[in-house]
Chain A
Amino acid sequence: MSSTKFDNKVVQWVDDRLPIFSMLKHDAVDYPTPRNLNYWWNFGSLAGVMLVIMLLSGIILAMHYTPNVNLAFTSVERIMRDVNYGWLLRYLHMNGGTWFFICVYIHIFRGLYYGSYKAPRELLWWLGLVIYLVMMGTAFMGYCLPWGQLSYWGTTVITNLFTAIPVVGDSITTLLWGGFSVDNPTLNRFFSLHYLLPFVIFALVFLHLVALHTTKSNNPLGIDVKGPQDTIPFHPYYTIKDLLGVGVLMILYLGFVFFDPNFFAEPTNYVPANPLVTPPHIVPEWYFLPFYAILRSVPDKLGGVLAMFGAIIVFFFLPWIDSSKVRSATFRPIFKQVFWIFLIDCLILGYIGSQPPEGIMVPLGRIFSVVYFAFFPLLWVIGKVEKPRPLPNSIALPVLKAGQAGHAEKPLEKA
């Protein structure tokens, strides 16, 4: 089956029967990669590294955790206090969620900026979005497990959203709860699913990679690879570049783990869950805040739920909403500005989502939610009216020219 020959007889023997070494050579060593990928292309592999860290730390945490409403909170504290390096495992897992989402958000916005969702990469984009959706479900259920006040009340608020669905809403909510309120059955099924879904993500990541290696990577110029002069082998060029990214990510991530592990956490979740006491201010984890702001901006329950889910679902249609044939924002002067406005809008929505829905925050939330949704039709219009800058003829050309001239296209290589 494989044409690759290996010097090592054992490797050859295995490869003739199961071509894992040929596959590795094809997809992780020789894999032709555009030579001009900048550091924004690091975040896919970084998200993969975070997934592995979350799986490993999570599997060990599950050996010590007890999914029971009377024991969950103290079992987490037992991990923190009595399990050897339990505090490290737990803080790695807790902060790991944050850094996983940071990597994934940068990865998504990179795809947006450089038009990585456009033909022929629509399914690659879709698989990425499905991964993101499953990640959100996993993170939400994971946040329930310590059974602190926000675990309980966050779960109550979000699961109640499903009651807004006409006809079947109440049944769905009852099914999610395993009863008539958030209680022990809810905790049990969330634990079960929180353990299952990461492996689903793992399988989806595999499909994401298969799709990626079929269509090959996009690049900062957004133009197609014309020939071997445009690519370099994945190893050693991108293995070492990805490793450098891992080093920097670990410094930041472990910096928080060791020196400010609760920076992204809400103090209220260190109070054990109490169904009789509602905390004054219920907020989800930071990575849900923009959607939380959109949810609260619509004065109708079903409308809010639809707007919140729509804010994510709309990304699936991006390959067809964006009418421009040019991928990279580098050559799209208007889109480039609108992209940054959209990004800033998402950050502002995140801030609004973290604040109590009172006073000025209510109209602001509505304005910036409208801006969020206006981005998508605008994308279609921009594609029609925008006059893109001329595209270079090949990837190799501007790279070599920039090397000689030492200016102009520099940011393409080292953004």
Chain B
Amino acid sequence: MRKSLLLALMAGLVAAAVPAMANEGAEPAPQNWAFHGVFGQYDKAQLKRGFQVFREVCSNCHSMKLVAYRNLADLGFSDDEIKDIAAEKQTQDGPNDQGDMFQRPARPSDHIVPPFPNDQAARAGNNGALPPDLSLMTKARPGGADYVFALLTGFADAPAGVTVPDGMYYNPAFPGHQIAMPPPVADESVTYADGTKATKDQISRDVSAFLNWAAEPELDARHALGIKVMLFLFVLTAMIYAVKKKIWADVH
């Protein structure tokens, strides 16, 4: 009894120490994003391409529960296009007059319909691993969009001496370097509606930008308002400074 307790304790210590050692993923390389910087704004065409990648690839396993179909208007989709996009998915509604739950096509007011009804179903469908919700991915990881891009393009063969268990993939960008997600994108994974050449790099870049929008849909408005507020404050503070100088002139 005591021996097994001791073993459990040691196993616990090792389990605690191992992630502490192999914890950090490689520092993601900074990329050029249209939305970076004080004047940064989202590139709408890029977001639209990114949404196409999400819709055709990511959303097969990942949910995005905090984003509603109506939010896609930010990307430049028309009301009718959004209705069509939403209607592709069935969602549960009800109860109806008979007290029964029923399926109906999703509406623009619905949040993006998750691929699995619950976390257990998601795990069961993905080899025991839970694909995380992507609504806040770029805010919830150090490095943000740079990290997502590094992760999507970071899959590689394991170096000599590193054994990767079945169902896991080697990716230096991921903390611990082993990830349960198979490489999700490759060259020509999608065919872009706007004719952009769909390289792996381009696809990863577009979907990372799209995920940044999903996490921070207010960014365009925030930057635009911020510049006005800053200009106002610079002028106001300069004027206060001039008044202060004048008032204090007789004290000095």
Contacts and interface: CB of A to CB of B under 8 A. Distances in A.
- A and B: interacting chains: yes
Interface of A: 35, 74, 77, 80-81, 87-88, 91, 232, 236-237, 240-241, 243-244, 247-248, 250-251, 254-255, 257-259, 261-262, 267-268, 270-271, 280, 356, 358, 403, 413
A258 B223 contact: yes
Contacts of B139: 262, 267, 270
B218 to A, nearest CB: 4
A238 to B, nearest CB: 10
B222 A258 contact: yes
Given A240-B243, A258-B222, A270-B136, A247 B233 contact: yes
Which of B144, B222, B233 has the most C-beta atoms of chain A within 10 angstroms of its own C-beta? B233
Nearest to A400: B252
Contacts of B218: 80-81, 87
A77 B223 contact: no
B223 A243 contact: no
Nearest to A74: B66
B102 interface: no
B222 A87 contact: yes
Interface stretch (B41-49, B202-210, B224-232): B224-232
Given A77-B66, A356-B20, A251 B247 contact: no
Contacts of B241: 244, 247
A118 to B, nearest CB: 26
User: Helix, strand, loop or mixed for chain A's interface?
Assistant: helix
21 contacts: A80-B218, A240-B248, A243-B240, A244-B240, A244-B244, A247-B240, A247-B241, A251-B230, A251-B234, A255-B226, A258-B225, A258-B226, A259-B226, A261-B222, A267-B140, A267-B141, A270-B136, A270-B140, A271-B136, A280-B20, A356-B20
Interface string B24-57: 0000000000000010000000000000000000
Contacts of A240: 240, 243-244, 247-248
B191 interface: no
B20 A254 contact: no
A254 B237 CA distance: 13
Given A267-B144, A270-B215, A403-B252, 17 more contacts: A77-B136, A81-B66, A81-B71, A81-B218, A232-B251, A237-B247, A240-B248, A243-B244, A244-B237, A244-B244, A247-B233, A247-B241, A254-B226, A254-B230, A259-B38, A267-B141, A358-B20
A88 B228 CA distance: 14
B248 A237 contact: yes
Interface string B58-82: 0000000010000100000000000
Contacts of A77: 66, 135-136
Contacts of B20: 280, 356, 358
B23 interface: yes
A233 B141 CA distance: 52
A268 B23 CA distance: 14
